[in-house]
Structure 1
Amino acid sequence: MVNIISQADTVELCYENVSGSCVKTSYSPGPRAILYAVLGFGAVLAVFGNLLVITAILHFKQLHTPTNFLIASLACADFLVGVTVMPFSTMRSMESCWYFGDSYCKFHTCFDTSFCFASLFHLCCISVDRYIAVTAPVSYPTKFTVSVSGICIVLSWFFLLFYLLTGANEEGIEELVVALTCVGGCRAPLNQNWVLLCFLLFFLPTVAIVFIYDKIFLVAKHQARKIESTAGQVQSSSESYRERVAKRERKAAKPLGTAVAAFLLSWLPYIIDAVIDAYMNFITPPYAYEILVWCVYYNSTIKLIVSGKVLRSDSSTTNLFLEEAD
């Protein structure tokens, strides 16, 4: 950080001649352009990549399935992160200043938290959908219907309404908020009750996702062994049975493990830091906080690029969680 921030003799402020103005971060031209490009690329990919998914699913009737409705709703949450959060956070992260007014600062904080959690809850619902599809393929169409998918979508978006109706995230820490606030800043500390709530809202779906994907992996291993056992009885092969089973197991584990690992790497550092901050009077440096926040933001784009399929012409219909059999 020291190497890329220019060492100016005078301190730049977000609002000159304004008492209590935030200090503006000054970067040298090269690192500044690179950082803007990296953050801007994430926002553009989140917007247009997820818009492509939404458009494809809504336009083509053959894609109107319960699973795809869930994926479209998930893409909508990630699209809204790209539209209402990431561009403004880019400016805040780069300039250390907020130029969009106090009112939108509050909305930005609300959208930031709500849309990211909506994305998390959608992932949990989709994991349940995939588990039913793998373990009960015959009865799956009657178990996970459009109505069930709709209920999952409504529940996934409930946190947004809950956040808007309560909005008591700063209750009890007003003096600390004032001490941390400067003119031209937009960082909303959460009190301990809200942090505990956010931790539970993260922890419970995460445990469910990991548990369900573990079960899916076990089922995939069992099915792989069964398929190879059947195939081994009717044809010979130069590979041993154990080698062929191991290959199928690795193929089944790869997309599941990648999806879960990417999700945990995006979310876990931020959640841990939020808990520590709430109980340690917000000791995290601003630049470290911004890095953790952007890790969560990039979770809204990583689902499209984690498998390397986003640049394919059929990426709009790509299954984000399970590979299709060859």
Structure 2
Amino acid sequence: MNSSFPRLVEAVTLCFMSLNESCPRTVYTLALRGPLYLLFAVIVILIVIGNLLVICIIIFSQHLHTSTNFLVLSLSVAGLLLGVVVMPFSMVRSLETCWYFGKVFCNFHSTVDIILCNTTVWHLTFISIDRYLAVCHPMEYQKQMTNRLCVAMIMSSWSLSSVFGFTITLLDPEIKRKETFHMNCFGGCFALHTKEIGVQYSIIFYFIPVSIIVTVYSRIFFVAVRQSKLIHSYNYNPKAPLKSKGFKATKTLAVVIGTFLVCWTPFFMCNIIDPIIDHSVPPLLYEVFMWLAYLNTMFNPIIYSFFYRWFRETSKNFWERLLNILI
């Protein structure tokens, strides 16, 4: 039957033709793989450049050495590592539908992927808590948000994610999947697709952080609105919009959290539903959700540049100084 849609799959073959236990390979047409390689490469480059810029700006700007920005710095380090260590190999796996880098590197790649993605989620959680203290308790903020607490937040994010990532690697959940998913074949590299680990993973690194973020953000929103109305009442002007530092910070946080939810929710929902329905979620759909989650790492530096004036001004000064040094 003829179709008006272009053909996307060229052939179904094996990852390693000489091996009987090779995983199956879906060969996408060059017309599909070419643009997608270009798109993914651009995404990786933007993630690396954007997060590297944030890191450099915070490190080399003394006035930005605050607890909030140290959390942002650590978040950007995770994003940079994700763009350099994880995503290029995920790109090849997604588009070639095979893993050509060996079993040992598969375990390393999966572990680092889990650690960096989960670290990102927990950093966003702690940043929302930091903003809660700044907006809802401004008088006590400097006293409460100490460098020691900031370091504890950063270490907790990395430590909890690392423990869980290495635990998954040691448990080797791939062997628990059904044989129909070729988890014991050569050329496959998958993780987090067992029912038990998928549910635990999603609860620890999505539903708990999201519950904290939504609760904290709701509190910030109501406090910021109340502060804005109070300021508005002292300087009465019926046509003037409600404005305050806290309210602006709340709108920015809303964009950050909204972007996070849009990027990560489909992946975690798929991660829970797939084992329950006997792994019948199409692999292509899972890959799309995975790359949508990766995009969150690209959006964060863009949000900083659009919504934080200090970032725009410092970025401009940073580039001017860099050009002066080079010239």
Match of residue 324 from structure 2: none
Is 2:178 the counterpart of 1:176?
A: yes
CA contact (8 A) 2:75 2:120 kept: yes
Is residue 61 from structure 1 mapped to residue 62 from structure 2 by the alignment? yes
The alignment status of 1:152 with 2:156, answered yes or no, reads no
Uncovered stretches (5+) of structure 1, i.e. residues with no partner? 319-326
Please report how far the alpha carbon of residue 199 of structure 1 lies from its aligned counterpart in structure 2 after TM superposition. Answer: 1.9
264, 275, 280: which one pairs with 1:267? 264
| Worse-superposed segment, 281-290 or 116-125 | 281-290
* SS state at 1:72 partner: helix
**How far is the alpha carbon of 1:142 from its aligned partner?**
1.1
| 1:321 equivalent in structure 2 | none
Letter in 2 for 1:68: N
Distance 1:231 1:92, change over 3 A: same
| Structure 2 equivalent of residue 73 of structure 1 | 74
The yes-or-no answer on 1:293 pairing with 2:293 is no
Q: Is the Cα contact below 8 Å between 2:14 and 2:25 reproduced in 1?
A: yes
- The one of 207, 213, 234 equivalent to 2:211 is 207
TM-score (normalizing by structure 1): 0.84
- Deviates most, 57-66 or 112-121: 57-66
TM-superposed deviation, 1:260: 1.7
Between the aligned partners of 2:28 and 2:43, the Cα distance in structure 1 is 20
State how far apart, in whole Å, the 2-side matches of 1:213 and 1:317 are.
27
Deviations 1:84-130 (A, max 9, x none): 11111111111111111111111111111111110111111111111
Instruction: Give, in whole Å, the separation in 1 of the partners of 2:90 and 2:142.
Output: 42
Deviation at 1:147?
0.5
SS across alignment from 1:139: helix
Q: What's the counterpart of residue 227 of structure 1?
A: 231
Compare 292-301 and 23-32 and name the one that shifted more.
23-32
Give the letter aligned to residue 26 of structure 1: V
Q: Which segments of 5 or more consecutive residues in structure 2 lack a partner in the other structure?
A: 316-327
What SS does the corresponding residue of 2:281 show, helix, strand or coil? coil
The amino acid of 2:216's aligned partner reads I
Separation of aligned partners in 2, 1:248 and 1:153: 26
Structure with the bigger RCO (C-alpha within 8 Å, sep 6+) is 1
Moved more, 190-199 or 260-269: 190-199
Amino acid at match of 1:198: Y
Aligned length: 309
C-alpha separation between the residues in 2 aligned to 1:249 and 1:58? 25
Instruction: Show structure 1 runs of 4+ deviating over 6 A.
Output: 246-250
Find the aligned partners of 2:243 and 2:57 in 1 and give their Cα distance.
36
Quick check: which one's helix share is greater? 2
Superposed displacement of residue 303, structure 1: 1.1
Q: Name 1:102's counterpart in structure 2.
A: 103
Instruction: Check the 8 A contact 1:47/1:83 in 2, yes or no.
Output: yes
* Partner SS for 2:138: coil
Q: RMSD of the alignment, in Å?
A: 3.0
Per-residue CA deviation, residues 212-267 of structure 1 (Å, 9 max, x unaligned), is: 111111111111111111111xxxx5xx25x6339999866542332221111111
| Distance of 2:6 and 2:100 partners within structure 1 | 23
Offset of residue 164 of structure 1: 5.0
Contact 1:266 1:299 (8 Å CA) reproduced: yes
What's 1:216 paired with?
A: 220
Change (3 A) 1:85 1:32: same
User: For residue 228 of structure 1, what is the amino acid of its counterpart?
Assistant: H
Q: Supply the distance in 1 between the matched residues of 2:42 and 2:172 (Cα, whole angstroms).
A: 32
